[in-house]
Amino acid sequence: MTTLFKNIKELIQVRSEPVSFVSGLEMKELPTIKNAYLVVENELISDFGSMKNCPTSNFNKVIDAKGKMMLPSWCDSHTHIVYAGNREGEFVDRINGLSYEEIAINGGGILNSAKMLQATTEEELYQQSKVRLEEVTRLGTGAVEIKSGYGLTKDAELKMLRVIKRLKENYPIEIKATFLGAHAVPTEYKNNKQGYLLMLVNDVLPTLAKENLAEYIDVFCESGYFSVADTELILEAGKKYGLIPKIHVNQFTAIGGVQSGVKYKALSVDHLEEMREEDIEVLKGTTTMPVVLPSCSYFLSIPYAPARKMIDSGLPLALATDYNPGSAPSGNMNFVVATACIKMNITPEEAINAATINGAYAMGLENEVGSITIGKQANLILTKPINSYGFIPYSYGNHQIEKVYLKGEEIV
Ligand code: NIG
Ligand code: FE
């Protein structure tokens, strides 16, 4: 099966020489080809270039993209798409004056989601979650990481991970699974956090490893949740099973979690709303990708991560949605890209790099997705007719997607 896209007004994020990720000043460069063609063969990008050199062979399908742009699908490296029910009641409580922390202390927050998830069957959880997966696919996401962490019991954590596995099997979108058992201390272990951590280490981890249910391991390293020592205990245990860290750090307080991430060679450290000089320093020259989540800052009215400062310090940066029922009930990467430009003062080039190639790296998928490169999956966004790619973040609250393709197939 071969498809030719011709007359593409601008083909964006073209990387003939593959890169793993871009950092600092490189992030300002977004390579493109104007008036371009692209060929898809057997699910992969097999050729692209200027229309001057457009091949004339017999293709199964020819799509005229006149006036439209094409870019690689968004890579969303941090989500909690598998969850049960919703928390719009807490949203109203916050409008009426309660803080996110106060709601959590009163049994709301993550514990509220855990209670709902524990009472939901695996089948029902799958049904609720697949709606969100289909929704983000239509919004241009072509690769996504999904975390557990709303189970907080052995059974419920495994239930979440099995749902993620089933989504992987049934959908063409690339999915990576992360074990986030240490997301909150469940009520039963209220006065015995160590007991909960040991249960995760001795009971849940061996089972999930046996069933091959996760690639990554995560901890909510935060005051009132899990300390740096707790985090390192979990990361150490995960290492024995080959689970690579991707951790929640510096959302509300900076307690040294970024340093632990670097020490344990985390693939990414995520959130970073509260960054000290030393947190930026320690990330320099490492293989750990800083991932920022503007929708969470928007929704909770907390500070935005200092993305501008991080890039100016030479760091790479990835953007993700954090799609979850408590702090970011939206999986819209178009909104994330726009909000990063508007509120974090980064350029469209930087934001698109952060939401494609750098997001792919933060999921270990930089060889499969995230750029227009021969041999990568044909996960593509075809825009509506637009003047320039800057219009994508400029038209915030809307999106400019006309069609999405996963492995070369149009998603309807
Ligand atoms: O990434 N910060 C920790 N976990 C989620 C939100 C959890 C929730 O409120 O349900 C996050 O923001
Ligand atoms: Fe999160």
Average pLDDT over residues 138-159: 98
pLDDT over threshold 90, residue 396: yes
CA nearest ligand 1 atom 1, residue: 322
Atom of ligand 1 nearest to the CA of 322: 1
Please compute the mean of the pLDDT values over residues 233-256 and round it to a whole number. 98
* Closest CA relative to residue 303, chosen from 324, 345, 327, 272: 272
pLDDT confidence of residue 107: 86
- At 325, list the tokens: 């029922």
Handedness of CA 84, 89, 94, 97 (dihedral sign): negative
Neighbours of ion ligand 2 (CB under 5 A): 322
Is the separation of the CB atoms in 182 and 231 below 8 Å? yes
**313/176 Cα distance (integer angstroms):** 29
Three-state secondary-structure class, residue 7: strand
Supply the residue whose CA is at minimum distance from atom 11 of ligand 1.
327
Q: How far apart are CA 87 and CA 151, in angstroms?
A: 16
Ligand 1 residue neighbourhood (C-beta within 6 Å): 109-110, 113, 220, 248, 251, 296, 322, 324-327
Res. 164 pLDDT band, cuts 50 70 90: very high
Q: pLDDT digit string (tens) for 261-282?
A: 999 999 999 999 999 999 999 9
Q: 22 C-alpha vs ligand 1 centroid, how far in Å?
A: 27
Structural tokens at position 61: 């399908």
Mutate to test the pocket of ligand 1, among 83, 322, 324, 336 (most ligand atoms within 8 A of CB): 324
Residues 234-246, mean pLDDT to the nearest whole number: 98
Q: What is the pLDDT of residue 106?
A: 86
Q: Which of 372, 397, 398, 370 is nearest to 384 (CA)?
A: 398
319 CA distance to ligand 1 centroid (A)? 16
**CATH of the domain spanning 2-74+369-411:** 2.30.40.10
Give the CATH number of domain 75-361. Answer: 3.20.20.140
**174 Cβ neighbours under 8 A, 6+ residues apart:** 142, 143, 144, 363, 365, 368, 369, 377, 379
pLDDT digits (tens, 9 = 90+) for 76-128: 999 999 999 999 999 999 999 999 999 998 889 999 999 999 999 999 999 99
Atom of ligand 1 nearest to the CA of 100: 9
Boundaries of every domain in the chain: 2-74+369-411, 75-361
**Beta-carbon contacts of residue 88 (< 8 Å; ≥ 6 apart):** none
Which helix or strand (DSSP H or E) is residue 40 part of?
strand 32-41
Portion of the chain with pLDDT greater than 90, in percent = 98
Which residue in 159, 147, 166, 393 sits closest to 270, CA to CA?
A: 147
Give Cα 303 distance to the centre of its chain.
20
The phi and psi torsions of 166 (rounded to 5 degrees) equal: -65, -40
- Residue with the bigger pLDDT between 58 and 380: it is 380
Segment 386-392 shows an average pLDDT of: 98
Q: pLDDT tens digits for 180-239?
A: 999 999 999 999 999 999 999 999 999 999 999 999 999 999 999 999 999 999 999 999
Residue with CA nearest ligand 1 atom 9:
326
Residue 211: count of CB within 10 angstroms of its CB: 12
Averaged pLDDT, 285-298: 98
The model's pTM is 0.98
Q: How far apart are CA 375 and CA 47, in angstroms?
A: 9
> If pLDDT is split at 50, 70 and 90, which confidence band does 309 have?
very high
| Average pLDDT for the chain | 97
Residue 106 one-letter amino acid? N
The pLDDT, as a whole number, for residue 412 is: 86
pLDDT at position 258, please?
A: 98
Q: 318: CA distance to ligand 2 center in Å? A: 14
Question: 291 CA to middle of ligand 2, Å?
Answer: 10
Q: Which atom of ligand 1 is nearest to the CA of 271?
A: 1
79 Cα–ligand 2 center, Å: 6
Taking the C-alpha atoms of residue 8 and residue 23, their distance in angstroms, rounded to an integer, is 28
